Amino acid sequence: MSVEMNLTRAQFDEVMVPNYAPSAVIPVRGEGSRAWDQNGKEFIDFAGGIAVNCLGHCHPALVSALKEQGEKLWHLSNVMTNEPALELATKLVQSTFAEKVFFANSGAEANEAALKLARRYAQDKYGEDKDQIIAFTHAFHGRTFFTVSVGGQASYSDGFGPKPQGITHIPYNDIEALEALISDKTCAIMLEPLQGEGGIIDAEPEFLKAVRRLADKHNALVVFDEVQTGVGRTGELYAYMDTPIVPDILTTAKALGGGFPIAAMLTTTDIATHLKIGTHGSTYGGNPLACAVGNAVLDVVNTSEVLDGVKAREQILRDGLNAINQKYHVFSEVRGKGLLMGAVLNNQFQGKAKDFLVAAAEEGLMCLVAGANVIRFTPSLIIPEADLAEGLARFERAVASIASN
């Protein structure tokens, strides 16, 4: 027998582990690029669950896929495969460089699989001494102990005892540092083609060329973490498609399920053979429900209409943010690609990104931060232009309230 509960923000402090500090707002319903809280207050969503809700809230195609699969088959062990998983893997292979797919549930799990595969590949082919992973400062690759150690933010990885070894961090976009560090002991270079959590920092083309050239020279693998940039976020299905290089391993999650938990690691047949039977696994990876939704997401997103639309919306968002800055002079630059944009606070407003986030929520706009000095925007890839305009108007009011203090 269910019990009626009065669920409030205070309940979080009573029953949840305190590793989060959520706001007082509790959304209860969403449709498209708008959401409503318990009190009926409406929000324009420029956050998208941190680049997850790529088609907004409750997109009809995703709802339909989930309902249809929910009446067929929910779960199987990996002793058997299932049709939605086979269909989604085939679509990913047909649409990317990859020849093989491994399914997981989150970006961290996909990255964990990628790192384990890179280590196993190097050990099998070149011996146990080839174990060095080169990663980059301000990177973010997940919260498992391995992935948080590879991520370049010590504040996330310190305080949990001895870290996994063989990981070295250097500055992003620094070719000289990479040339000085890499050697025949390097098994992998892992990077985001556009750093998300680290401040919306794009990889320079010459840097990426150096990554590929040096990796090839030293028989190391290039691993692209496209958890945040993937599935249309930058205006390409995957961001690597608009760079001068192709990775050996790519990870994808977040938008792949449009809000339903799913992730994947993509790679070539040659590299994939090193994850032999029993070397890695996932109870829920390849779950029929998740894969059914993922199929619907790809069917909608991987079209010229949506991908070209992302680029058009990028320009509207960029122009709108620059227009706001012309009036209030709070940003040093607006950067990013597609609908992964960052407004970088200037010296006068250093450290106040969260203040802008809170002020935006007061005005009925959901947005994000990427560190203390960058306001991050990751709206739906198909957000109506009218919602973009309204969201920018609300954000301008938030900016005005802070700039005037």
Active site residue 140: yes
Tens digit of pLDDT for each residue in 139-151? 999 999 989 999 9
Task: Judge whether 184 is annotated as a binding position.
Answer: no
For residue 153, the model assigns a pLDDT of 87
Instruction: Name the catalytic one among 130, 254, 337, 352.
Output: 254
For residue 312, the SS3 value is helix
- Is residue 319, in this structure, part of any structural domain at all? yes
Percent of the chain exceeding pLDDT 70 equals: 99
Active site residue 103: no
Task: Judge whether 251 is annotated as a binding position.
Answer: no
- Is residue 365, in this structure, part of any structural domain at all? yes
- CB of 116 closer than 8 Å to CB of 166: no
Same domain, 252 and 111: yes
The two tokens of residue 262 are 């799913």
Instruction: Name the catalytic one among 202, 225, 248, 387.
Output: 225
Task: Judge whether 107 is annotated as a binding position.
Answer: yes
What confidence category does residue 72 fall into, taking pLDDT thresholds of 50, 70 and 90? very high
Same domain, 284 and 319: no
For residue 109, the model assigns a pLDDT of 97
Task: Judge whether 213 is annotated as a binding position.
Answer: no
Task: Judge whether 157 is annotated as a binding position.
Answer: no
More confident position, 22 or 118: 118
> Domain of 348?
9-58+305-403
Percent of the chain exceeding pLDDT 90 equals: 91
Tens digit of pLDDT for each residue in 215-254? 999 999 999 999 999 999 999 999 999 999 999 999 999 9
E runs forming strands in 204-326: 221-225, 249-252, 263-267
Same domain, 327 and 369: yes
For residue 323, the SS3 value is helix
- For residue 310, what is the domain's CATH number? 3.90.1150.10
Same domain, 282 and 354: no
The two tokens of residue 251 are 């990870």
Listing DSSP states for 362-394 in one string gives HTTEE-EESSSSEEEE---TT--HHHHHHHHHH
Same domain, 394 and 264: no
Same domain, 260 and 203: yes
Domain boundary among 274, 301, 328: 301
| DSSP type of residue 282 | -
Domain boundary among 278, 301, 324: 301
For residue 142, the model assigns a pLDDT of 92
Please tell me the number of Cα atoms within 13 Å of 380 on its side-chain side: 26
E runs forming strands in 314-371: 331-337, 340-345, 365-366, 368-369
Same domain, 227 and 84: yes
Tens digit of pLDDT for each residue in 338-380? 999 999 999 999 999 999 999 999 999 999 999 999 999 999 9
Task: Judge whether 394 is annotated as a binding position.
Answer: no
- For residue 138, what is the domain's CATH number? 3.40.640.10
Tens digit of pLDDT for each residue in 23-58? 999 999 999 999 999 999 999 999 999 999 999 999
Domain boundary among 261, 286, 301: 301
Task: Judge whether 79 is annotated as a binding position.
Answer: no
- Is residue 64, in this structure, part of any structural domain at all? no
Number of domains in the chain: 2
- Is residue 2, in this structure, part of any structural domain at all? no
Least Cα distance to 105 among 271, 272, 281, 267 occurs for 281
